[in-house]
Amino acid sequence: MPSSYRVVMMIALGSAVGGVLRYLVGNTLGDVVQVPWRTFVINVTGSFVLGAFLYWSERQGTDHAGLRAFVAIGLCGGYTTFSTFSYETVGLLETGAYARAVTYALGSVVTSVAAVFAGFGVAKLLP
């Protein structure tokens, strides 16, 4: 099997795992927090995982194309929910909840960026 096919298969597998994780986390949080905060938690934790993994991967100095495809493109892509985040922000705006929409949008972006930095920090502690 050519290398490009293996990478595509790793992305597909990672996407499946990420999508299932998103479903499970969303359902678990559904009893505790309301929309849009489930999406917020998923985006922040996914950003953390992506930051930690990519930092670790780049430090290794070896080719991890399949693993990078699985985690960064597949798993994190299937798990995080930017399109849902955008839809929920528009939904808040459509209902006139302007302050909540702005708080949600800015909070999501700022906290997700901070989570990537936190992921870098944790990855720096790894061997």
Q: Write out pLDDT tens, residues 75-88.
A: 999 999 888 899 89
| pTM for this predicted structure | 0.80
d(CA 65, CA 122): 22
| Structural domain boundaries enclosing 18 | 3-124
Number of folded domains that form the chain = 1
pLDDT tens digits, 31-85: 777 768 888 999 999 999 999 999 999 898 878 899 999 999 999 999 998 888 9
Provide the angle, in degrees to the nearest 10, between the axes of the packed helices 37-60 and 3-30: 150
Amino acid identity of residue 118, one-letter, is A
Peptide bond into 36 cis (omega under 30): yes
List the one residue out of 83, 80, 87 whose CA is nearest residue 43.
Answer: 80
The distance from CA 121 to its chain's CA centroid, rounded to whole angstroms, is 17
